[in-house]
Amino acid sequence: MNRRNAHRNSNGRRPHRIPEDAKEKGLVTLRFLGGARTTTGSLHRIRMRDGDLLLECGMYQGHRAEAEAWNRDLPVDPARVKAVLLSHGHIDHCGALPNLVKRGYRGPVWCTEATADLLPVMLIDAAHIQEVDAARINRHAKKGKPQKQPLFTIADAERTLRQVRGVPYGHPFEPLTGVTARFVNAGHIIGSAAIHLTLRAGGAATSLGFTGDLGRRDVPILRDPEPLGAVDWYMTESTYGNRDHEDTGDLLGLLEDAVLTVTRRRGKLLIPAFAVGRTQLVLYLLHRLRVDGRIPDVPIYVDSPMATRATAVFKKNRDLYDEEAHEFLTCRGSLFQGARTSFVADVDESKALNRLDGSAIIISASGMCEGGRILHHLRNHATDRRNLVLFVGYQAEHTLGRRILEGTRPVKIYGERVEITAEVRRINGLSAHADRRGLLRYAQALERPPKSIFLVHGDTDRIAALQSWFHEHGLPGAKGPAPGDWARLL
């Protein structure tokens, strides 16, 4: 692997632009542009004689100015890009696509069929946020200051969706001359895939395996990750490369106790949850508890338009469920809802939840309380000691969710000081990412040891830990490429 020394600014962050490297030569080269030594903005470029192939085209999410500069000036030449392959529909893996299209990309975007179903949910919502944020900033801008333009618009997102091509799992296809690709179920979210590539040039061939975001085994609803087979080069995520997930313990029991606690108090249970994946898992667990008679038939409200649309994608793709989910579906008739489960549509319905009398469960995005309707519910319900805020996902540093979980009082919500008096709990064990044991198990399942292992989509400390972990278990030589590094594959 070849390195560039200019991949960091003096403040340690990535630069706004990664320059082309004149030394990048070979029949087939792989360059790490985004999602390198960070867990966001996934973007990897394969260069061949007939053009460039992108693995992922993710939005960089982080400090506002840094994210703005990176996302507005993607480090790729749209004229050279001939195809894009997506592992799944999370915004940090697909969210920059409309900007790529806005800049002139007219080629296909390849993904699994379920991801193709999910992309309208994700990209239209992201475009709407871009337009609303730009309009808000312009309303408060000083007179004479240039108007802020959104990174992309809903029209750009709609144009992007017309270029999407859905492919079944396991079905070989040719996204570019000399390239054969195949999607393998990664078990992360609905439609997620690891990608197997065979690359041919100059009468020779090589193969690359890419995990995308790798899911966990034995998690409800989705099937376990499926093996990639044999590859010469291997690129794996490393999000939790420095730890083992806590024992899932009795997930149903912990959720049951939270529901029973609030119903005894005639209180509300607030669950901040990501709209795709986590909300559906929580709904399934609650529905199981209800049909088994372990919790009362308390009303459940899903107050997230994106979660509502994502749940429809889950329902459509039931062929991707695991055996347990299929059995439940056959015996109970529904996976995610009962008679008293409501999907809240408009803002007026959402506001009406503030006047609910008696116990209720409100599931709302965002999962880290950084935006969305959950903020209104926290402001209106988290000041009541009868209520309970239940976190079911990781709370990143500097997020509102993290501050609430760590006991910061008061907190600011929409500029107001809010005293959180509701009980606060968390349930571990619902992560959709493989831990270091899962990452090792998946790498060891390769049919032969790869020539090299590239560790991406992880912070520096997690990459270093996973590198050591792999070495200890017979997989030496793993590398954590920096932004701009490249490798010659052929």
Enclosing H/E stretch for 342: strand 341-343
Scan for tokens 């030496």, then name that residue: 476
**Beta-sheet pairing, 300-303 with 411-413:** unpaired
Do 229 and 378 fall within a single domain?
no
Tell whether 15 is covered by a domain. Answer: no
Alpha carbon distance 43, 74 (integer Å):
9
Q: Which of 387, 404, 426 is a domain's end point?
A: 426
Alpha carbon distance 279, 307 (integer Å):
7
pLDDT of residue 169: 98
| Phi-psi label, residue 414: left if phi above 0, alpha if psi -120 to 50, beta otherwise | left
Do 237 and 259 fall within a single domain?
no
Tell whether 21 is covered by a domain. Answer: no
CATH number at residue 269: 3.40.50.10890
Contacts of 78 (CB under 8 A, 6+ apart): 100, 103, 104, 105
**Beta-sheet pairing, 341-343 with 300-303:** parallel
pLDDT of residue 16: 54
pLDDT tens track, the chain, 490 positions? 654 433 443 334 444 568 788 789 999 999 999 999 999 999 999 999 999 999 999 999 877 778 888 899 899 999 999 999 999 999 999 999 999 999 999 999 999 999 999 999 999 999 998 998 889 888 888 888 889 899 999 999 999 999 999 999 999 999 999 999 999 999 999 999 999 999 999 999 999 999 999 999 988 999 999 999 999 999 999 999 999 987 766 889 999 999 999 999 999 999 999 999 999 999 999 999 999 999 999 999 999 999 999 999 999 999 999 999 999 999 888 899 887 999 998 999 999 999 999 999 999 999 999 888 999 999 999 999 999 999 998 887 788 999 999 999 999 998 899 999 999 999 988 889 999 999 999 999 999 999 999 999 999 999 999 999 999 999 998 999 999 999 999 9
Do 234 and 291 fall within a single domain?
no
Tell whether 23 is covered by a domain. Answer: no
Q: Which of 374, 396, 426 is a domain's end point?
A: 426
Strand partners, 413: 416
> How far is C-alpha 21 from the geometric centre of its chain's CA atoms?
30
Alpha carbon distance 413, 430 (integer Å):
26
> How far is C-alpha 80 from the geometric centre of its chain's CA atoms?
27
Alpha carbon distance 336, 321 (integer Å):
13
Do 63 and 148 fall within a single domain?
yes
Do 133 and 279 fall within a single domain?
no
Alpha carbon distance 249, 375 (integer Å):
29
Number of domains in the chain: 2
Cβ atoms of 308 and 336 within 8 Å: the answer is no
Tell whether 10 is covered by a domain. Answer: no
pLDDT of residue 145: 87
Do 455 and 400 fall within a single domain?
no
Do 451 and 422 fall within a single domain?
no
What is the DSSP code (8-state) at residue 422?
A: S
Cβ atoms of 327 and 321 within 8 Å: the answer is no
Do 258 and 119 fall within a single domain?
no
Do 191 and 262 fall within a single domain?
no
Tell whether 208 is covered by a domain. Answer: yes
pLDDT of residue 174: 98
Residue 374 three-state SS = helix
pLDDT of residue 248: 67
Q: Which of 426, 448, 466 is a domain's end point?
A: 426
Q: Is the pTM higher than 0.85?
A: yes
Cβ atoms of 485 and 7 within 8 Å: the answer is yes
Do 238 and 335 fall within a single domain?
no
Alpha carbon distance 208, 231 (integer Å):
5
Alpha carbon distance 386, 352 (integer Å):
19
CATH number at residue 88: 3.60.15.10
Q: Please state, as a whole number, how many other Cβ atoms lie within 10 Å of the Cβ of residue 155.
A: 12
pLDDT of residue 1: 65
Tell whether 107 is covered by a domain. Answer: yes
- Identify the sign of the CA torsion 27, 28, 30, 31: positive
Tokens of 141: 């801008």
Do 215 and 281 fall within a single domain?
no
Tell whether 412 is covered by a domain. Answer: yes
Tell whether 22 is covered by a domain. Answer: no
* Domain that includes residue 139, residue range: 29-244+432-488
Do 269 and 356 fall within a single domain?
yes
